[in-house]
Structure 1
Amino acid sequence: MTNPHYTFLILTYNEEVHLPRLLNSIYELNAAVCILDSGSTDHTLTIAATYDAQVKQHPFENHPRQWHHALNAFEIKTPWVIGLDADQVLSDELKQQLLHFKDEDYQGIDGIYFNRKNHFKGKWLKYGGYYPFYLLKMFRYDSGYSDLNEHMDHRFIVPGKTIIWKDAFLLEENLKENNISFWINKHNRYSDLLACEEIERRQKLRLQTVKPLFWGTPDQRTAWLKQLWWRMPLFIRPAIYFIYRYIFRFGILDGYAGFIFHFMQAFWFRLVVDIKIKELLNNEKTD
């Protein structure tokens, strides 16, 4: 009998290296699996078929819009949905939580945050503000939706009460990012999206969906920190952010892989975004 409580919703694009790992981790939960693919040319669709997943196709624009389409493209018959990226895997602790999950035990709850353990080049990034790290991944299908006020970062939003499973871990490791060229090309594309988004926010064309609140939910705190970030001066803020993560949040303890990740993600990527913001502002002045 198919699990009556929740359905897994997964996004894919050329994920043959990741998808078997994820599908194996959720197999014993006996839940429906819906995969929205954006044009894979490898063996992703063949792998999905071997696990009896329902697959649909949709061209990729950005993650928030792709999740929005996924939530509307499938006929979800369960009260809950779990939205996962293909490079994520359920830990044994999270699997046990889900094995015993029953909708009737969570009346009055609209969403559940999972704790994430992020890995880079085989190293768990325990420091630098990357653990604990809570993601709203499980929510009621009739109330949750994708935040379309973001270009790059994607998050699900629910109007009601949420809880956190602090000891149930989602393991994330993008094996393709072990190739630094892949990582750089990917984040160069992301920097275009983020630069455009920040310009739109400066022009009041794009607002935050989540209420900024430092002592609120994990997403409300993120929204508050983003407001702080947008007020900081360009070019200076990447250096401040890297020092904060690497020194004050002990990212230095993550070793060689940690240095690469924290430097590239906190400084290099943010600096590229600021350079592109400056270029866009200069173009506006000359038009």
Structure 2
Amino acid sequence: MGRPDFSFIILTYNEEKHLPRLLNSIKELNAPVFILDSGSTDNTLKIAEEFGAKVLYNKFENHPKQWDFALKNFDIKTPWTIGLDADQVVLPELFEKLKNFKDEDIPKDVNGIYFNRKNYFKGRWLKHGGYFPKYLLKMFRTSVGYSDTNENMDHRFIVPGKTIIWKDGYIKEENLKENEIGFWIEKHNRYSDLVAQEEIEKRNKLRTQSINPRFFGSPDERIAFFKKIWWSLPLFVRPFLYFFYRFIIQLGILDGKEGWIFHYLQAFWFRLIVDIKIWELKKKNDRA
């Protein structure tokens, strides 16, 4: 096939376990690949060079700002850009859609395309608990889509105008480093600092949502709607409610022991740690 109408951007930091897997899944698409690294000390940069990717460096502060830097500093010539994480893989159904993709086939008022993520934890696909289907805006018109820097941790791309959803445009996400639970806990302990600070700022009207919350809107507008409800719930109560909702109402219980570990840690433990840190920050601010 000839040069396609899209380019890939990938963020990396010590991704020698993941990067070959991702680059091999998109190699036959013959698309330009741009990698923004934040100081890898393993074989990440060597792997990027072997696959012919263009690499830039930027010191990491958080994911939204890293994506913002990538979108502003890579010279993308194609009409569309795809932003992927290093621990993601393009699955065959999405590969076929991209192989046949032509800019001229997309209505001019459509600026973004949602892919459908299959999330894996400890080797198991999490089909329940609200984790599938999971639509992520990953493809957008170059220079039209941008990174939502109003978030500290959750990165998302935003586009004005219309979007479409590729329900069978599957990406697989599996962070192999998280097979060691110590890595998962350490990582999410760091994330909890960012989320707690972000919520304090939102409670104090110092930070707002970039996306209009709408229950019947796009996948991201729907998430924004539920986030607005989340922030109104009482601290320490909401982790119990959320875990019950994920594990029982959304049938996370059917995801086996791997699902039990994941849903408990992600829906309850992590949210409880965030609430404790919000409580501590509020007490500290009150004393100040």
Cα deviation for residue 2 of structure 1 reads 5.9
Q: 1:210 is matched with which residue?
A: 211
Cα deviation for residue 285 of structure 1 reads 1.1
Q: Work out the percentage of aligned pairs sharing the same amino acid.
A: 66
CA contact (8 A) 2:4 2:30 kept: no
CA contact (8 A) 2:93 2:169 kept: yes
Cα deviation for residue 142 of structure 1 reads 2.0
The answer to whether structure 1 residue 70 and structure 2 residue 70 are counterparts is: yes
The answer to whether structure 1 residue 241 and structure 2 residue 242 are counterparts is: yes
Q: 2:270 is matched with which residue?
A: 269
Q: 1:158 is matched with which residue?
A: 159
3-state SS of the aligned residue for 2:258? helix
User: Counterparts of 1:8 and 1:57 in 2: how far apart (Å)?
Assistant: 16
Cα deviation for residue 207 of structure 1 reads 0.4
3-state SS of the aligned residue for 2:15? coil
The answer to whether structure 1 residue 148 and structure 2 residue 142 are counterparts is: no
Q: Which amino acid aligns with 2:122?
A: K
The answer to whether structure 1 residue 168 and structure 2 residue 169 are counterparts is: yes
User: Counterparts of 1:157 and 1:2 in 2: how far apart (Å)?
Assistant: 29
User: Counterparts of 1:123 and 1:3 in 2: how far apart (Å)?
Assistant: 35
User: Counterparts of 1:205 and 1:32 in 2: how far apart (Å)?
Assistant: 39
Cα deviation for residue 64 of structure 1 reads 0.2
Q: Which amino acid aligns with 1:90?
A: V
3-state SS of the aligned residue for 1:16? coil
Q: Which amino acid aligns with 1:73?
A: N
User: Counterparts of 2:153 and 2:92 in 1: how far apart (Å)?
Assistant: 30
CA contact (8 A) 1:238 1:270 kept: yes
Deviation per CA, 1:207-252: give whole Å up to 9, x if none: 0100000000000000000000000000000010000000010000
User: Counterparts of 1:222 and 1:102 in 2: how far apart (Å)?
Assistant: 30
State the Cα RMSD in Å.
0.7
User: Counterparts of 2:135 and 2:33 in 1: how far apart (Å)?
Assistant: 23
Q: Which amino acid aligns with 1:178?
A: N
User: Counterparts of 1:160 and 1:75 in 2: how far apart (Å)?
Assistant: 23
Q: Which amino acid aligns with 2:261?
A: I
3-state SS of the aligned residue for 2:60? coil
Q: Which amino acid aligns with 2:79?
A: P
Q: 1:92 is matched with which residue?
A: 92
The answer to whether structure 1 residue 278 and structure 2 residue 257 are counterparts is: no
Cα deviation for residue 86 of structure 1 reads 0.2
Gaps of 5+ in 1: none
User: Counterparts of 1:265 and 1:2 in 2: how far apart (Å)?
Assistant: 42
Report the CA distance shift for 1:2/1:37 in structure 2 as closer, same or farther (over 3 A): farther
Q: Which amino acid aligns with 1:3?
A: R
Q: Which amino acid aligns with 2:269?
A: W
Report the CA distance shift for 1:189/1:158 in structure 2 as closer, same or farther (over 3 A): same
Deviation per CA, 1:3-41: give whole Å up to 9, x if none: 240000000000000000000000000000000000000
Q: 1:57 is matched with which residue?
A: 57
CA contact (8 A) 2:4 2:29 kept: no
User: Counterparts of 1:87 and 1:31 in 2: how far apart (Å)?
Assistant: 19
User: Counterparts of 2:126 and 2:3 in 1: how far apart (Å)?
Assistant: 33
The answer to whether structure 1 residue 118 and structure 2 residue 116 are counterparts is: no
Q: 1:20 is matched with which residue?
A: 20
- Runs of 4+ residues over 3 Å off in structure 1: none
CA contact (8 A) 1:2 1:32 kept: no
TM-score, structure 2 length as denominator? 0.99
CA contact (8 A) 2:4 2:101 kept: no
Q: 1:105 is matched with which residue?
A: 105
Deviation per CA, 1:68-126: give whole Å up to 9, x if none: 00001111000100000000000100000000000000132100000000000000000
Gaps of 5+ in 2: none
TM-score, structure 1 length as denominator? 0.99
